[in-house]
Structure 1
């Protein structure tokens, strides 16, 4: 009996050593297809829920802009090996068991469309605000709340659906950018419990399914390093999103008529004066009179001053990602099980009002990507196609990929 017990323990240890998360390397966020599930005029979800591929491709531009053929095969040919597929959880929470089953069947068919071309899928439950009852606030409260209980129950159902597709093809990311400020460090500990309990729920369904865990604080590095991974197992990835400094990556005004663009990266590649000259040129081209220009420039001054005072550069970006690496090492987690689940930079608009210059945008993306790859860390750039500036596909005209962006990501089109 003692020999049998020893053999069982040895086998268990060997199995644990062989366990590993879904192999992921180079990914892209796919947000427009299954997020923002269509609503009826009365504000309820359309049934069956979610968009078709054609509805997605024609939602922001004419369908004729897109080339013929399978769009997922096209993504694969660009060099991506997985998509981070963001999914509105609302239709899975709304209605009764029949409605949930219908939604799960729709999602299962959608995921299979992606995996059948050889892409892996990180299934990202990505709460949005169009139906307030199912926004991120549903899990931005007490760990024992009714909303959290219902959400966790839904996650278990999704895990079961994904296991049916195959744990060798898909991973589950149950939360996107949870708030719980201030990063749960000085708070109630609710996020720690929610994350740990959700992992336990999924493990009841499957020990093999890869799960993407995240810290609070909007999914930033700050939130991850405050997380206690006492629930760790070899099939867990740990996510953080990298949009720092936000003043550079998100150069867009709060209103459509503001001017917020031209900050360089790294900061040493420009100066406050060069940014002001750029903004002045954009304002003149937009027809602003001298008084209007002074007003708009005054709005931009603090942003410009703060950015150059910090002096963001390659070393600072690497150090920020390095904080996540140090956290992982502290807990004995290989840095290769970290996941840079989103990163991106808004590109310059044609009128020069918003965004970063191409050279600066590409330098930032290359540095972030290369830093992740130093640690064999998978990454997913944000995102595949949208008209708002962070996009692999050109935002207007023929739906062609940004080849310079693909180069910065180290991808070669096949």
Structure 2
């Protein structure tokens, strides 16, 4: 019996040592399907939770706009090899026992639906705010809180469900853009403790399930390079989201009748004066009053001036990637186990209120994609389909892929 036990332990050690992460290269986020789970009038989740595939596709356009057939097969035909599948953890945290198992069964079937099309899945627990009690505020009060304990217990159940689906096709990303700040060593060690403990939780379920770990500070590069991967094993990816500079990738205003758009990429291809003049022209077309125009221009000028003063372009992108690759090298982690889990640029809206011109957007996306591939970093573009300007599928009309965006991603139109 003792000899058998030793042999089993040695076999486990060998299996763990030889473990390698799920193969990922080029992915796309699917966010609108299993996030924002339907809720009742009293704010509770409709049960069983989550939308059907048809409800997702019809969420922002008529279902008749879609071409029909297998949508995930179409994603695969574009050249993507995985989907980063966003899932609201709220219904899972809110439920227990048999009810939670019902929710997990819904999600298990969804994952199998995607993998049956030949795609791998990064199962992204992606908290949203529609039910405040189960938003990511649940985990923001420190590593030793009841909220974190409840969330970690839920993650173990998700890990078990995914193991039963297939560790050869699925990875688990337990947190999306955790908001522990500041983004340097001056902060507390709460996020370090939470991430390390969650890795241990998942490993108590499976050594073969690939984990996508992340730093704090919104999942940024700054957050990742402040993470100590003292929990590392060969079956972990390390995520960062690439929205640098945010002033370019997310051009929009939160003001009523706000306009914030038109910064060029790279900055050297334009001037502050030309950006302001074109912005003012778009406001004229929209019929803004002189007072509204003055207010918008006053807000925009600070952003415009800073962007051009920093002269954003290829060299700054190079520095950003060197930071994350340098962090990986320092910790003995190959760049192939980094994971650019999100990147993208808001496309200018039809009314000109937000976003970048298409040519600038495409230049940025191509540059970021090329840098990731230079370092053999798998990537996932944000996202497959939405009406908000970051979308592989054109945001209005027949649900066709954006052919120019696919070219920038070195993919193909099916």
Shorter-chain TM-score bucket reads over 0.9
Q: 2 CA distance for matches of 1:264 and 1:333? A: 35
Q: Could you tell me how far 1:281 is from its partner in structure 2? A: 1.2
Q: Deviations over 1:97-139 (max 9, x none)?
A: 1210110000000110000010000000001100111111111
Q: What corresponds to 1:255 in structure 2? A: 255
- 1:379 paired with 2:394, answer no
Q: Deviations over 1:210-231 (max 9, x none)?
A: 0000000010001100100010
Q: Could you tell me how far 1:293 is from its partner in structure 2? A: 2.3
Distance verdict in 2 for CA 1:256–1:402, change over 3 Å: farther
Q: Could you tell me how far 1:273 is from its partner in structure 2? A: 1.0
Q: Does structure 2 conserve the Cα–Cα contact (< 8 Å) formed by 1:22 and 1:170? A: yes
Q: What corresponds to 2:29 in structure 1? A: 29
Q: Could you tell me how far 1:13 is from its partner in structure 2? A: 7.4
Q: Could you tell me how far 1:296 is from its partner in structure 2? A: 2.1
Q: 1 CA distance for matches of 2:134 and 2:173? A: 17
Q: 2 CA distance for matches of 1:134 and 1:184? A: 27
Q: Does structure 2 conserve the Cα–Cα contact (< 8 Å) formed by 1:33 and 1:53? A: yes
Q: Does structure 2 conserve the Cα–Cα contact (< 8 Å) formed by 1:184 and 1:192? A: no
Q: Could you tell me how far 1:284 is from its partner in structure 2? A: 1.0
Q: 2 CA distance for matches of 1:72 and 1:289? A: 46
Q: Does structure 2 conserve the Cα–Cα contact (< 8 Å) formed by 1:183 and 1:226? A: yes
Q: Could you tell me how far 1:294 is from its partner in structure 2? A: 2.5
Q: What corresponds to 2:51 in structure 1? A: 51
Q: Could you tell me how far 1:289 is from its partner in structure 2? A: 3.7
Distance verdict in 2 for CA 1:62–1:255, change over 3 Å: farther
Q: What corresponds to 1:240 in structure 2? A: 240
Which structure 2 residue ranges, 5 or more long, are not aligned? none
Q: Does structure 2 conserve the Cα–Cα contact (< 8 Å) formed by 1:49 and 1:91? A: yes
Aligned counterparts, 1:383-398, within 5 A = 383-398=383-398
Q: What corresponds to 1:227 in structure 2? A: 227
Q: Could you tell me how far 1:344 is from its partner in structure 2? A: 0.6
Q: Secondary structure at the match of 2:218?
A: helix
Q: 1 CA distance for matches of 2:393 and 2:156? A: 34
Q: 2 CA distance for matches of 1:53 and 1:5? A: 47
Q: What corresponds to 2:138 in structure 1? A: 138
- 1:306 paired with 2:323, answer no
Aligned counterparts, 1:12-411, within 5 A = 15=15, 18-183=18-183, 185-411=185-411
Q: 2 CA distance for matches of 1:12 and 1:203? A: 13
Q: 2 CA distance for matches of 1:142 and 1:150? A: 13
Q: Secondary structure at the match of 1:241?
A: strand
Q: Could you tell me how far 1:366 is from its partner in structure 2? A: 0.5
Q: Does structure 2 conserve the Cα–Cα contact (< 8 Å) formed by 1:141 and 1:180? A: no
Q: Secondary structure at the match of 1:121?
A: strand
Q: Secondary structure at the match of 1:219?
A: coil
Q: Does structure 2 conserve the Cα–Cα contact (< 8 Å) formed by 1:184 and 1:191? A: no
Q: Could you tell me how far 1:96 is from its partner in structure 2? A: 2.7
Q: Deviations over 1:180-232 (max 9, x none)?
A: 10136212201111000000000010000000000000100011001000100
Q: Secondary structure at the match of 1:152?
A: helix
Q: Secondary structure at the match of 1:218?
A: coil
Q: Does structure 1 conserve the Cα–Cα contact (< 8 Å) formed by 2:347 and 2:357? A: yes
Q: Does structure 2 conserve the Cα–Cα contact (< 8 Å) formed by 1:183 and 1:215? A: no
Q: 2 CA distance for matches of 1:8 and 1:70? A: 43
Instruction: Count the aligned residue pairs.
Output: 411
Q: Secondary structure at the match of 1:49?
A: coil
Q: 1 CA distance for matches of 2:95 and 2:235? A: 32
Distance verdict in 2 for CA 1:298–1:138, change over 3 Å: same
Q: Could you tell me how far 1:95 is from its partner in structure 2? A: 3.0
Q: Does structure 2 conserve the Cα–Cα contact (< 8 Å) formed by 1:406 and 1:412? A: yes
Q: Could you tell me how far 1:291 is from its partner in structure 2? A: 4.0
Q: CA RMSD, aligned part only?
A: 1.8
Q: Does structure 1 conserve the Cα–Cα contact (< 8 Å) formed by 2:61 and 2:396? A: yes
Q: When the two structures are superposed, what TM-score results if normalisation uses the length of structure 1?
A: 0.96
Q: When the two structures are superposed, what TM-score results if normalisation uses the length of structure 2?
A: 0.96
Q: Does structure 2 conserve the Cα–Cα contact (< 8 Å) formed by 1:184 and 1:216? A: no
Q: Does structure 2 conserve the Cα–Cα contact (< 8 Å) formed by 1:209 and 1:235? A: yes
Which structure 1 residue ranges, 5 or more long, are not aligned? none
Distance verdict in 2 for CA 1:29–1:272, change over 3 Å: same
